Structure 1
């Protein structure tokens, strides 16, 4: 059962990176992000879209080993499939391949999401296709290389329940920030800041600490979210030490 949540792109931005609300919703098009960098998970890709993707591209869903995040309602015709037909008739689903995630679990979550989309939109299994189907691009590349074969994925979709789980409601509404340990040069801090802002899609700042420098994030709602943020920084090897402080 995949956890799903929405992080929708504002309509004013969506109008600039889609064909508009003209999607016929005849296909589910499966992609992979091809972004293996640590931290390039579903939340990071959703934030990338929400903050204004530097590429002329858009997609409805991103899925990792923990959750599926929706960026566009299905009636938007996103720019992802490489052809007019694929873009204007397809619901685009990106599977994350970040190296700090569990690829097999991400594929399983994608199968659960695809089963739900099929049920919600009345799409037959014969119209669940690869990005390659519309543009001949080698995508989803890991599936096409056999890490999980396409036939195995389709079998997962057929047996998936399509059931979803909403994220646990936030009961701690307090605001927190994550502070890294110190860096000896501002360039080192700027390198970390660039990753947090560009790869993770976070708000973040550099603060002086005497002759040293540290990076401070924007706010997280709830201690659990802040802890997850701190762990993400450590997993990406951006800082050995992190501290969580009240905002």
Structure 2
């Protein structure tokens, strides 16, 4: 299934999404020309109000992605009552797929294309077949109406499942989306989530917001790669990344971390934390403990932090690093502490740790020189 992303945007979306399920809809727009491209373009151009979806698909050979998975879409709506999954799933933890039903459309072809698209999304995200739902299952709205009118939902699930386990024989980064290998991947999307474990259900630990190249040391669950820095796992699927070749084993920045060497990729993960704990003489567990959740928005590039809404004294490592940078020693990473570290390391001063971060790269380099 070809997916066109030329209309990808943030219009009518939420700032955050942690996809745990896929929700299938029918547009119920029977007007002439109301196909997938028309809907994606309308969403992209801001012509929808309080409605949006991640994907639009019809009876043609191309589906359109209109919103990134990292953004929540306005597709679930209100709870119509009855027995449903509304308390479990909604706009901020799902991916919305709209099957278009424009005048004169070929139902069977659109049906098959929807199954193929959902199967591709499952492969990209790791969402299993049992968490592919009708809109009706979530909030009791009669949708996808055209599929339900025909009693076709069970057939849809069977069609999706019939190819969900295929593996193919493509090579890493070849564009087949089938087989992936450790190596260097260049990010191709504006926001690539870093997760604690190799699946879409795992907690988001950080976000890569540049289009830089990152070394992946192992692959699990088809396309999930572990970052060399120990920051976590990213989805290396061709929808998000381009395979740039194997890592250079003798390079300090791309070789698998061992001993006292840390990857200089600008993401503050477990490996950098352990090295800093060693250098600053604090307990070595690879975690930045007891950090205030209110500061998380300043720390996109830090994946080793443990966030909590209740103050618990902060981190011993952070206190030592605050002392090192002549900052207030409260143990919490906030804008003032980040500013002090940026000043100490001679990097641009903005009070945030982006993903990746120039400050973190400098800190990683500093560690490797010790």
Is the 2:8–2:65 Cα contact (8 Å) retained in structure 1?
no
Residue number among 39, 63, 68 corresponding to 2:33 in the alignment: 39
Task: Quote the Cα distance in structure 2 between the aligned partners of 1:10 and 1:124.
Answer: 26
Is the 1:64–1:97 Cα contact (8 Å) retained in structure 2?
yes
| Helix, strand or coil at the partner of 1:101 | coil
| Structure 1 gaps, min length 5 | 166-247
1:58: Cα distance to partner? 0.9
1:97: Cα distance to partner? 0.7
Residue in 2 that maps onto 1:96:
100
Q: Which stretch shows the higher mean deviation, 79-88 or 46-55? A: 79-88
Residue in 2 that maps onto 1:141:
145
Task: Quote the Cα distance in structure 1 between the aligned partners of 2:32 and 2:73.
Answer: 26
Residue in 2 that maps onto 1:109:
113
Residue in 2 that maps onto 1:30:
24
1:89: Cα distance to partner? 1.0
1:31: Cα distance to partner? 0.3
Task: Quote the Cα distance in structure 1 between the aligned partners of 2:9 and 2:162.
Answer: 35
1:24: Cα distance to partner? 1.1
1:8: Cα distance to partner? 3.1
4+ residue stretches of structure 1 with deviation over 4 A?
Answer: 161-165
Residue in 1 that maps onto 2:76:
81
Is the 1:32–1:141 Cα contact (8 Å) retained in structure 2?
yes
Q: How does 1:154-173 map to 2 (within 5 A)?
A: 154-160=157-163
When residues 44 and 144 of structure 1 are mapped into structure 2, their CA distance, relative to the original with a 3 A threshold, is same
Q: RMSD of aligned C-alpha atoms? A: 2.2
Residue in 2 that maps onto 1:153:
156
**Which structure carries more helix by proportion?**
1
Task: Quote the Cα distance in structure 1 between the aligned partners of 2:103 and 2:140.
Answer: 25
Task: Quote the Cα distance in structure 1 between the aligned partners of 2:37 and 2:141.
Answer: 25
The number of residues matched between the two structures is 159
TM-score, with length taken from structure 1:
0.60
**1:8 matches 2:23:** no
Is the 2:18–2:93 Cα contact (8 Å) retained in structure 1?
yes
Residue in 2 that maps onto 1:59:
53
**1:121 matches 2:125:** yes
Deviations 1:70-125 (A, max 9, x none): 00111111110125732111100000111222111011011011011111111111
Task: Quote the Cα distance in structure 1 between the aligned partners of 2:145 and 2:99.
Answer: 11
| Helix, strand or coil at the partner of 1:8 | coil
Deviations 1:1-44 (A, max 9, x none): x2221133444xx2xx2221x21110000000001111111111
Is the 1:32–1:97 Cα contact (8 Å) retained in structure 2?
yes
Task: Quote the Cα distance in structure 2 between the aligned partners of 1:116 and 1:139.
Answer: 22
Is the 1:9–1:49 Cα contact (8 Å) retained in structure 2?
no
Deviations 1:34-71 (A, max 9, x none): 01111111111011101112321110000011121000
